[in-house]
């Protein structure tokens, strides 16, 4: 169960340290010497924190290990620390990540798969379900999971996800530890993990993901401003949308998985 997290943690160099940390009401941000990583803040009732140290000044690898915590705020700090390595421009580019420039529709996680979705079964979990439904319902059979009207309860995922061809998973599942389980349920499908918390690393491909649609922060001060709550919506403006795919979408269309 922990293999994905352990591999991500082990890949961080021992030499990097945390410079700044903010766990805001909506965003969590961690800065290292290499760059900035962000994660969604999950303020749910959970276990007490396990970290007995101050994250600021601590080795980035030690803080990233908090991603294994069952305290969700602490786990968000851990995932943001992972992203303060993997989601920095230098490391993301080295791993093959593509960065959006302007209105980059080819790398949009919803528009890019429209042709592949045609006459197939598509599923989406969470707040983006209505977006997927509006964009793809005219070409595919869309199944939504969540609290929206017409959506299935999350408990139905174990029964219905294995029947899907294309699946969108929310990034905060990496924080809540749901991601490995849902990726296993989606093994036979093309699975896209979307959102600023997703760690842009090929390690997630081995866990079952096909496409990682995330965020690479390029303006650290703006990201921290968003995390502090003064301008929550600025988080997306503080970086570039990014896409890391196991294979090009064109290979899906040609039947070459």
For 78-100, b/e burial (b = at least 16 CB within 10 A) is bbbbbbbbbbbbebbeeeebbbb
Q: Which tokens go with 231?
A: 């301008």
Alpha-carbon Rg for the chain, nearest whole angstrom, is 18
Give me the mean pLDDT over the 119-147 stretch: 84
pLDDT 10s digits, 79-99: 999 999 999 999 999 999 998
Tell which residue, 97, 40, 86, 28, has the closest CA to residue 60: 86
How do strand 121-125 and strand 166-170 relate by DSSP bridges?
parallel
* Residues shown for the chain: 257
- Under the banding of pLDDT at 50, 70 and 90, the label for residue 122 is very high
Q: Tell me the pLDDT of the chain averaged across its residues.
A: 90
pLDDT 10s digits, 218-254: 999 999 999 998 778 889 889 999 999 998 887 877 6
The per-residue DSSP string of 74-138 comes to HHHHHHHHHHHHHTSHHHHHHTT-EE--SS--TT-TTGGGHHHHTTSEEEEESTTHHHHHHHHTT
Helix, coil or strand: residue 24 = coil
pLDDT 10s digits, 4-20: 999 999 999 999 999 99
Give CA–CA dist 207/120, Å, rounded.
23
For residue 212, the surrounding DSSP H or E stretch is strand 211-217
What domains can be seen in the chain, in order of their start residue?
A: 3-93 (3.30.390.100), 100-215+242-253 (3.40.50.11590)
Give CA–CA dist 240/256, Å, rounded.
29
Give CA–CA dist 222/235, Å, rounded.
7
Tell which residue, 169, 166, 164, 129, has the closest CA to residue 149: 129
Q: Which of 48-52, 58-62, 109-113 has the lowest mean pLDDT?
A: 48-52
Give CA–CA dist 192/200, Å, rounded.
12
């Amino acid at each position: 169960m922990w293999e994905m997290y352990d591999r991500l943690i082990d890949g961080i160099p021992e030499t990097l340290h945390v410079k700044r940390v903010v766990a805001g009401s909506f965003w969590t941000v961690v800065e290292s010497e290499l760059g900035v990583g962000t994660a969604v803040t999950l303020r749910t009732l959970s276990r007490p924190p396990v970290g007995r140290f101050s994250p600021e000044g601590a080795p980035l690898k030690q803080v990233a290990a908090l991603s294994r915590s069952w305290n969700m705020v602490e786990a968000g700090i851990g995932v943001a620390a992972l992203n303060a390595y993997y989601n920095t421009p230098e490391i993301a580019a080295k791993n093959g990540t593509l960065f959006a420039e302007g209105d980059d529709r080819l790398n949009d996680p919803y528009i890019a798969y429209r042709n592949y979705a045609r006459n197939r079964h598509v599923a989406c979990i969470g707040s983006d379900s209505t977006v997927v439904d509006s964009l793809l319902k005219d070409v595919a059979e869309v199944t939504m999971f969540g609290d929206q009207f017409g959506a299935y309860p999350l408990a139905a995922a174990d029964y219905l996800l294995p029947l899907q061809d294309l699946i969108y998973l929310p990034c905060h599942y990496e924080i809540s530890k749901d991601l490995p389980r849902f990726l296993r349920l989606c093994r036979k499908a093309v699975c896209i993990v979307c959102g600023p918390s997703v760690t842009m690393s090929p390690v997630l491909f081995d866990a079952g993901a096909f496409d990682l649609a995330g965020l690479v922060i390029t303006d650290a001060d703006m990201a921290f401003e968003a995390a502090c709550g003064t301008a929550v919506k600025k988080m997306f403006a503080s970086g570039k949308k990014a896409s890391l795919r196991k294979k090009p979408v064109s290979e899906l269309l040609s039947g070459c998985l």
